[in-house]
Amino acid sequence: MTPAATPVRKKPRVDQAARRDEYVRVAARVLLEKGLHTATMRDIADAAGAAKVLFYRLFPSREALVEAVFEKVVGAIEAAEAAQWEGYGSIIARVLAAAREEPAPFRLVLRNCRAGQSEWEARLRPLLTRTSLPLFKPGPDAPAGAEERAQMAAGALFGLLVDCMIRWLEDSDGLTDAERIRWWGRIVRENRAAGREAYRLD
């Protein structure tokens, strides 16, 4: 009698997308703690409890992993922008809600967006400007050059927004999120009125 063949156990299938997302989350935390230009792939792998080779299977370089952290923030901003407008401050309310779920990527990107510390400022500024641009659409009687002036008006609050978001995520201003969004909505509304007048958009 021939002995029964031992059944071959299949290895459980690894969810590559879930693993990738977890590595991005860990990378954001480590890069925030150790510094964007200081943390190594070894530091990140150790924090994830994984072999460094696993990271390189999903991210061909450290730069690719750092880029994935940045893209996580960009994706949240684009999703907030794509949702239906619900009043002044509604886009930032959605961005803040996403940042509350995973603060490390946002804190890392925003902290490194100041004063040209990285290329991220040059990439994030147009994105955040675009979210405000509908508020500054030139009227039919606006003087020549209004489109360019509208871009300047839409980007006027970039630095303030970056600083505020950092403080909000660190809860260092003594406000609740509801108060922050209400206050930001007022700033946007007043900035729209002042910007349209100053940049001659009507």
Alpha helices in 14-157 (DSSP H): 16-34, 41-48, 52-58, 62-82, 90-101, 103-111, 120-132, 146-154
User: What pLDDT does residue 202 have?
Assistant: 94
**% of the chain surpassing 90 pLDDT:** 80
Residue 14: band (very low, low, confident or very high) from pLDDT cuts 50, 70, 90: low
**% of the chain surpassing 70 pLDDT:** 91
Q: In this model, does residue 93 exceed pLDDT 80?
A: yes
Q: What are phi and psi of 192, to 5 degrees?
A: -60, -50
Element (H, E) at 194: helix 177-198
**Across residues 79-102, what is the average pLDDT?**
95
User: Is residue 88 classed exposed, middle or buried when 0-12, 13-18 and 19+ CB atoms within 10 A define those classes?
Assistant: buried
Q: Which bin fits 60, alpha (ψ -120 to 50), beta or left (φ > 0)? A: alpha
Crossing angle of helices 103-111/158-170, nearest 10°?
140
Q: What is the largest CA-CA distance in the chain?
A: 96
Give CA–CA dist 63/56, Å, rounded: 11
Q: In this model, does residue 186 exceed pLDDT 80?
A: yes
Q: In this model, does residue 11 exceed pLDDT 60?
A: no
**Across residues 50-56, what is the average pLDDT?**
86
Tokens of 96: 């803040």
Residue 165: band (very low, low, confident or very high) from pLDDT cuts 50, 70, 90: very high
User: Is residue 82 classed exposed, middle or buried when 0-12, 13-18 and 19+ CB atoms within 10 A define those classes?
Assistant: exposed
pLDDT tens digit sequence for 118-161: 689 999 999 999 999 999 999 999 999 999 999 999 999 999 99
Question: How high is the mean pLDDT of the chain?
Answer: 91
Domain residue limits, the chain: 16-198
**Across residues 12-27, what is the average pLDDT?**
84
The Cβ-side half-sphere exposure at 44, using a 13 Å CA radius, reads 31
Neighbours of 20 (CB within 10 A): 16
pTM of the predicted protein model: 0.86
Residue 12 carries which side chain, given as an amino acid letter? P
pLDDT tens digit sequence for 94-123: 999 999 999 999 999 999 987 565 689 999
Q: In this model, does residue 62 exceed pLDDT 80?
A: yes
Q: In this model, does residue 7 exceed pLDDT 70?
A: no
Q: For residues 71 and 122, is the Cβ–Cβ distance under 8 A?
A: no
CATH classification number, 16-198, choose in 2.130.10.10, 3.40.50.10090, 1.10.1740.10, 1.10.357.10: 1.10.357.10
Q: What are phi and psi of 119, to 5 degrees?
A: -70, -10
